[in-house]
Amino acid sequence: MTTLLGCIADDFTGATDLAGLLARSGAEVSLRIGVPTTPPKDTAAFEVIALKSRTAPVDAAIFECRAALSWLQDSGAKRFFWKYCSTFDSTSEGNIGPVSEALMADIGTSQTIYCPAFPENGRSIFMGNLFVGQQPLAESPMKDHPLTPMRDSNLVRLLEPQVTQNVGLIDRLTVAQGPDAIVAALKKLADRGVAHVVVDAVADEDLKHIASACRTMPLLTGGSALAMPLPALYEQAGILQAQTEDADRQSIAKEAIILSGSCSEMTREQVAQYCQKAPGFRLDPLELETKGPSAALAWLASQPVDAAPIIYATAEPEDVRAAQDKLGTARAGEIVEAALSQIAIAARDRGVRRFVVAGGETSGAVTKALGVDRLHIGAEIAPGVPWTFSESAGHAIALTLKSGNFGAEDFFGQALSVLDAS
């Protein structure tokens, strides 16, 4: 099938988030882990390529995203979606803006929009300012993110130092007037030489207006919720046939493990709640640096294979900073990711087939360690967090890759229940 929309996501949880929301429509969605090394074959109407580029050096992120774009173009896609976090995770150097400009240049388009809003998960944009629930971004727990601390809530100000061309805003007052008003505002901004346009959205209806107005733009950028209306719009335009066939749902053995590298506020609550009813082991980056994950692996081997244990590096902000001060930010993250990757392999080899993984960087590391290169989308656990299905070392496995702040306090237990019921 010719690909209608080619999507590039800057981390693995974001990719599953996007794929899950697109799959709500019943359309065929394929999620690839990393840039495929072979030419496009057996492609879906919606192709999503999951990268691990959010915190990569700018040049490396651009290189990888351009390679993904090239593959998607070879699959027949003419429209593209650059997906990043709904909290606009980035630094003054990038990677959101630089990647956008590189993709724009390769596609040959002079204007794109930025809309990370996800009202269903409490992310909204008003007068250019991003809110997490009722808190401005810079006052939310994201202000203490260990890799991309967000200290400004205004997306225009955040984007300006990342790009070389002008940045503008279409505010909620315009968006509320509907698609025609948005199209007119985009044209006015284009006439003034504005290439990068932040667009307000505080409700799902706003996203529908924005998607309708921008559905033919060669490149859209934002959070996953902006892409959710696109399948229906493509059906209305006659370029996508409605599909009702479900993806293959293999029976997956019930043995499970929870692996958490996220230190977000919500994940901390989720870990604490799950540890009340299941065995848990906390990873200490300082101990991992000197002794490796041997203690965690020994502990895992001592657990009943059906115990559904949790192994986590989730910690309070002050503990994270202490480890980063001694090891360096990058090294502290690398140690945890390497340990959780080894633990995932050990769990698989002792019969675990269900993996619940929390944290974007952790999800990327674990998925690569398991040798997964393509995922099929299954039942949604929480908004933007589906179960996915693949193979690892010849075994059918189920994976859910959760962004740190997504899900309710009982997410881990809920995830296992949803898979049992699906």
Beta-sheet pairing, 79-83 with 219-222:
parallel
Using an 8 Å Cβ cutoff, are 363 and 376 in contact? no
Residue 241 included in any domain: no
305 and 194, same structural domain?
no
Among 205, 236, 267, the domain-final residue is: 236
Where does the pLDDT of residue 258 fall: very low under 50, low under 70, confident under 90, or very high at 90 and above? Answer: very high
Tell whether the model's pLDDT for residue 1 goes beyond 80: no
Q: What is the pLDDT of residue 403?
A: 86
Residue 288 and residue 231 in one domain: no
Say if residue 231 is in the same domain as residue 317: no
Q: Is residue 281 located within the same domain as residue 368?
A: yes
Instruction: Indicate if 122 and 265 belong to the same structural domain.
Output: no
pLDDT on residue 383: 86
Quickly state the pLDDT bin for 243 (edges 50, 70, 90): low
User: At 287, which CATH number?
Assistant: 3.40.980.20
Identify which of 11, 7, 43 has the alpha carbon closest to the alpha carbon of residue 28: 43
pLDDT beyond 90 at 53: yes
In a domain, 243, yes or no: no
pLDDT band at 226 (very low <50, low <70, confident <90, very high): very high
Question: How many domains are contained in the chain?
Answer: 2
pLDDT greater than 60 at residue 244 = no
Confidence of residue 369 (pLDDT cuts 50, 70, 90): very high
How far lies 245's CA from each of 27, 60, 227, in Å? 9, 38, 21
Decide if 123 is inside a domain. yes
Residue 245 reports pLDDT greater than 50: no
Cβ neighbors of 394 (< 8 A, separation 6 or more) are none
- pLDDT bin (cut points 50, 70, 90) of residue 250 is low
Do 274 and 220 lie in one domain? The reply is: no
Q: What percent of the chain has a predicted confidence (pLDDT) above 90?
A: 85
pLDDT (0 to 100) of residue 251: 79
Q: Is the pLDDT of residue 198 over 60?
A: yes
Note whether 230 and 330 are same-domain residues: no
Per residue in 262-277, pLDDT (tens digit) is 999 999 999 999 999 9
Output the pLDDT for position 350.
96
Range of the domain at 273: 256-421
Domain presence at residue 247: no
DSSP classification of residue 147: S
The answer on pLDDT for 248 being more than 60 is: no
**CATH code for the domain of 148:** 3.40.50.10840
Does some domain include residue 246? no
Last residue in a domain, options 202, 236, 270: 236
The C-alpha atoms of residue 319 and residue 306 are separated, in whole angstroms, by 31
Residue 249 lies in a domain: no
Q: pLDDT at residue 247 above 60?
A: no
Question: Residue 31: what are its φ and ψ, rounded to 5°?
Answer: -115, 120
Same domain assignment for residues 187 and 279: no
> Which of the given ranges, 172-181, 314-323, 402-411, has the highest pLDDT on average?
172-181
Average pLDDT over residues 341-360: 96
Residues 264 and 156 in one domain: no
With b for 16 or more beta-carbon neighbours within 10 A and e for fewer, the 56-81 pattern comes to bebeebbbbbbbbbebbbebebebbb
For residue 251, being part of any structural domain is answered with no
Q: At 351, is the pLDDT very low, low, confident or very high (cuts 50, 70, 90)?
A: very high
- Looking at the domain assignment, is residue 118 inside a domain? yes
Both 210 and 280 in one domain: the answer is: no
pTM of the full structure: 0.82
pLDDT at 39 > cutoff 50: yes
Question: Based on the domain organization, do 270 and 394 belong to the same domain?
Answer: yes
Judgement on whether residues 292 and 369 belong to the same structural domain of the protein: yes
